[in-house]
Structure 1
Amino acid sequence: MDEYVKRELERKISSFSQLPYLFVGTGISMRYSNAPSWDTLLKNIWKMAGLGDSDREYEKMKQKIENEISYDKSPSSVG
């Protein structure tokens, strides 16, 4: 890391009244701790909750929700 960037980060962080939160995306946890992807996690919860047994049922529900979200965001659906 460039020394200037490092010094500026240290200066900025030390000026906070509390430590900042570090957000790490799922790629890090998937790569280094073999954690599931968001989709796999949701699919496992779907099955554990007894909402369906097959991957096909999960995929159909996921597609339905994605379509509803897309429709809600489309310009023609805005009042």
Structure 2
Amino acid sequence: MAAFKKHLIYKKDNWNMLTVEVQGKTLVLREISDQWGEEARSFISRPEMMHWANERFKRENYVGNEEEYEAIMAAFKLV
């Protein structure tokens, strides 16, 4: 059995990170935060995941920190 390919979208520390695992045709996103714990979401396509990412990470929330926004979105595009 082949291992799933895991993509690190961001990691601020051990309690604040977001990863995406490619499990065949399914994309499993795991978001861990010190505030909310762990949340997992499954997507059946990259466009579906990118739609979620664009809703979750709104450009206007990163005014003054555009580099972080660009890095997060670039990491999603590499999945």
Bucket of the pairwise TM-score, normalised by the shorter protein: under 0.3
Structure whose residues are more often helix by fraction: 1
Q: TM-score, normalised by structure 1?
A: 0.28
Indicate the structure (1 or 2) with the bigger Cα radius of gyration.
1
- TM-score, length-normalised on structure 2? 0.28
Greater relative contact order (CA < 8 Å, ≥ 6 in sequence) = 2
